[in-house]
Amino acid sequence: MTEFYDALEQRDPAEREAALMAALPRHIAQAQAATAAGAALLQGVDAATITSRAALATLPVTRKHELLARQQASRAAGGDPFGGFAAIGWRALLRGGQPMAGARRVYQSPGPIYEPEGHAADYWRVARAMHAAGFRAGDLVHNCFSYHLTPGAWIMESGAQALGCTVIPGGVGNTEQQLQAIADLKPQAYAGTPSFLKILVEKSAETGLSVASITKAMVSGEAFPPSLRDWLAERGITAYQSYATADAGLIAYETPAREGLVLDEGIVLEIVRPGTGDPVPDGEVGEIVVTVLNADYPLIRFGTGDLSAVLAGPCPSGRSNTRIKGWMGRADQTTKVRGMFVHPGQVAEVVRRHAEVARARLVVEGEMASDRMTLKIEVPGAPDALPAGLSAAVADSVRDITKLRADIVAVAPGSLPNDGKVIEDARSYR
């Protein structure tokens, strides 16, 4: 099998869904038994009953800022630096009075947030994405993600090595030294950010140090616009993007079809309304929430903070897993209005209080220090046919929840933009 990494990629969608749902009870029980955070967050949950997406949606979402807060609190108390989320560690870490062990490495991401790496081959499951990008056994890969504290380089290196590739640990910076290594060793593939690949190609033209051996690339870590993809293709490099995080590993990856990103086989993905744990209909933009089937770091409903949406239909490449549109912005739209922070979760609470309201979008306008808020609400029927007293009731809810006043404007169902925004900051900052 050369086109596909393994048979899992072509499974019947119903077979895949059944396998994922069957894995959930075991995974949740593992999190409860092996991690302090899992025991606390899932207290009272009967793992055996979590066998459907509807059941999964009843569990709490843990967002990155909450994971950070738990880690910080635990470290301040002299406890587990992972905040109780990891099932592995090292001898000096104790759980239930017993030493923790099993971590191969520990990384630091901005925050700082610390993540463990277990001993499983291809721990972050990136080999699948690299295979889709054309990486094959025997390729020499120039890896330009950072090897300093953060896991980016190791994520790509583990995937490349799982495929049987050899890796040059290029890291970041030192452009001319990297060009010399590329010219001397002639790697076939590149892993790193798309912007640094562009720098290497441009510097190659200036210095005469050839990068012509590189014909394929796996890029990640930043936006990869079609214009840059085409620019690289014109220079003989076919590049594909992957979406991975230090916490979750590979989430989705691009295929030769170039139509969205296909989900990895080792996660359960949900798209939820920002500020809530409520799944949105397919096609609607929301926050990416993943349950990662990794016993070493068993994250349940982990909110990535990134926006995306599910794409309808199968991938033309023949891979049968769900596709997403790719990265579409950040879900945390918290903003400060008249000295008060307003959160997406507060807008969601307003909607929950009024059954007539389907969706809402808080628009903040004006100039700084003279802000005004307008809550646009989608209600059944024409905007001028509001149920009696609804506008005033919603305004009261906004004031009760945010301690701020807002004008209420009713709009027709489906008229609010499908961009994942719950709070739109339209103020002038001049």
Instruction: Answer yes or no: is pLDDT of 368 > 80.
Output: no
Q: What is the mean pLDDT of the chain?
A: 93
* Sequence-ordered list of residues with C-beta below 8 angstroms from that of 137, at least 6 positions apart, any chain: 163, 164, 165
275 contacts 344 by C-beta, under 8 angstroms: yes
pLDDT digits (tens, 9 = 90+) for 39-84: 999 999 999 999 999 999 999 999 988 999 999 999 999 999 999 9
Residue with tokens 């596909």: 4
Q: How far apart are CA 339 and CA 356, in angstroms?
A: 30
DSSP-derived secondary structure for 381-401:
S-GGGPPTTHHHHHHHHHHHH
pLDDT in tens, 334-364: 887 877 778 888 999 999 999 999 999 999 9
pLDDT, tens digit (0-9, with 9 covering 90-100), for 254-270: 999 999 999 999 999 99
Q: Which of 373, 363, 355, 357 is nearest to 412 (CA)?
A: 357
- Answer whether residue 236 shows pLDDT above 80: yes
Give which of 193, 102, 106 is closest to 151, Cα–Cα.
106
Instruction: Give the three-state DSSP class for 199.
Output: helix
Mean pLDDT of 15-44: 97
Q: What angle do the packed helices 390-402 and 344-353 form, to 10 degrees? A: 140
pTM of this prediction?
0.86
pLDDT(171) > 80: yes
Residue pair 397/354 in contact by the 8 Å Cβ criterion? yes
Provide the pLDDT for residue 96. Answer: 80
Return phi, psi of residue 372, to 5°.
-140, 140
CA distances from 225 to 17, 80, 419 (A): 32, 40, 18
Task: For residue 367, name the pLDDT band (cuts at 50, 70, 90).
Answer: low
How wide is the angle at C-alpha 33 spanned by C-alphas 30 and 38, nearest 5°? 80
Q: Is 406 left (phi over 0), alpha (psi -120 to 50) or beta?
A: beta
Q: Band of the pLDDT at 1, cuts 50, 70, 90?
A: very low
- Checking if the pLDDT of 129 tops 60, the result is yes
pLDDT at 384: 67
Q: What is the pLDDT of residue 369?
A: 54
Percent of the chain whose predicted confidence (pLDDT) is above 90: 80
The pLDDT of residue 111: 84
Kind and range of the H or E run holding 197: helix 194-207
pLDDT class for 243, splitting at 50, 70, 90?
very high
**Which pLDDT band, with edges at 50, 70 and 90, does 139 fall under?**
very high
Using pLDDT thresholds of 50, 70 and 90, give the confidence band for residue 430: very low
How confident is the model over 136-147, as a mean pLDDT?
96
pLDDT band for position 385 (50/70/90)?
Answer: low
Of 369, 320, 396, which Cα lies nearest the Cα of 16? 320
Nearest to 218 by CA among 323, 131, 324: 131
Poorest-pLDDT segment among 3-12, 22-31, 302-311, 373-382: 373-382
Is the model's pLDDT at 329 over the cut of 90?
no
Residues in contact with 254: Cβ distance below 8 Å, sequence separation at least 6, in sequence order: 129, 132, 133, 240, 241, 242, 261, 262
Residue 382 pLDDT greater than 70, yes or no: no
Predicted local confidence at residue 15, as pLDDT: 98
pLDDT (0 to 100) of residue 80: 93
